[in-house]
Amino acid sequence: MGRRGRGKRDRSEKTPNRDFTPSVAAETDIAPLGRAGAKPPHERTADEEMDVADWDRVAAREDFRALIAAKRAFVVPATLFFVVYYFALPLLVGYAPAVMKIKVVGAVNLAYLFALSQFVMAWGLAAWYLRAAGRFDAMAQNLITALGRRKGR
């Protein structure tokens, strides 16, 4: 061995075969891999879920179909109404400016009132949805109860 290699050690000969990977379940781990209890629900994968629903059985139930039909009966007309009402203002201003210029109160014309009514419409639609969502939640809870599961598991 020459002078260059005299001071260097061959690490493979001196160092035993050490594993430098960090220990599992160290206290500093954010999400320790090793734990005594079950994983919290937000960390489980779909395969680890213990209460995976049998969706074919759920979809075949009459109360599930009633829930979906009730939601559809609300969402489709509400969405159509919102879109039509929302786009009615620019269309009316563009195609019927004489109508929208009609003064209602002082300098306030029909276009301004229509624009302000969109806020009222949005709040009313939100309130209507809240009321309907309570009904949907009750239907879903009945379905979950019938399936023998607790909500939120």
Structure confidence at residue 89 (pLDDT): 96
pLDDT at 67 over 80: yes
How far is 85 from 120, CA to CA, in rounded Å?
A: 11
Query: Which residues face 109 on adjacent strands?
Result: 103
User: What is each CA distance from 24 to 35, 40, 94, 113, in whole angstroms?
Assistant: 10, 18, 67, 65
Q: Model confidence at 28, in pLDDT bands (50, 70, 90)? A: low
**Structure token digits, residue 91:** 């269309």
Provide the whole-model pTM.
Answer: 0.60
CA 82 to chain centroid: 22
Looking at residues 138-151, what average pLDDT do you find? 82
Structure tokens at 79: 């969405």
- Residue 19's pLDDT band, with cuts at 50, 70 and 90, is low
